[in-house]
Amino acid sequence: MNYKTIIEPFKIKVVEPIKITTVEERKAFLKKANYNTFLLNSEEVLIDFLTDSGTSAMSADQWAGIMQGDESYAGSSSYHKMHKTVFNLTGMEYIYPVHQGRAGERILYSLLGGKGKTFISNTHFDTTRANIEFSGAEAIDIVIPEGLNPMQYHPFKGNMDTEKLEN
């Protein structure tokens, strides 16, 4: 045996039921939505890969943290705790918490974006592109060609096409 099975070092205490659908039903849901996954109802989706945000189980410490959190309108000790932790991880002095990624992008591109600006990525996340374009800037995706072919094997399909980048 050249591999070792490692069990997950935690117990999951909460389960949320999901609606089981058949392949035929899911094909029909997709057709009805004109193959636009944003038009699907969540109960029509068996396994949701659209985002990783808020889809994992919270740890006992995270749940406890909600009860211990300092909700003071100003000078909250929870803010200082968060600031210290993020500063230790990143070395960044100016830290601005936002409640979601898309909200952070809205603030970031209202400052960095604007007409005549161009942003280049392997593949922009949908809300990233939306916030860039809303600011008047352009978003360009230059993932390697293998990344656009779902049937082709490649060790890392997220690579940026560096020739296209130079061009």
Ligand X SMILES: Cc1ncc(COP(=O)(O)O)c(C=O)c1O
Rounded to a whole number of angstroms, the minimum distance from the CB of residue 114 to ligand X is 19
Three-class SS string for 55-78? CCCCCHHHHHHHHHCCCCCCCCHH
Kindly state whether residue 106 participates in binding ligand X, applying the rule CB under 6 A: no
**Does 123 engage in binding with ligand X (CB under 6 A)?**
no
- Number of chain residues interacting with ligand X (CB under 6 A): 10
Q: Is 150 helix (H, G, I), strand (E, B) or coil?
A: coil
Nearer to ligand X, 105 or 109 (CB): 105
Position 128 contacts ligand X (CB under 6 A): yes
Q: Does 127 contact ligand X by CB under 6 A?
A: yes
How many CB atoms lie under 10 A from the CB of residue 148?
11
Q: How far is the CB of 104 from ligand X (least distance, A)?
A: 8
- Residue 52 is a binding residue for ligand X (CB under 6 A): yes
Six-digit token string for 57: 């189980």
- Tell me the C-alpha distance between 134 and 124, whole Å: 14
> How many CA atoms does the CB half-sphere of 58 hold within 13 Å?
8
Kindly state whether residue 105 participates in binding ligand X, applying the rule CB under 6 A: yes
HSE-up of 107 (CA within 13 Å, CB side)? 9
Give whichever of 26 and 102 is closer to ligand X, judged by the CB atom.
102
Site for ligand X in 19-48 (CB under 6 A): none
C-beta separation of 141 from 161 below 8 A:
no
Chain residue at closest Cβ approach to ligand X: 101
- Which residue among 45, 78, 82, 101 contacts ligand X (CB under 6 A)? 101
Binding site for ligand X (CB under 6 A): 51-53, 100-102, 105, 125, 127-128
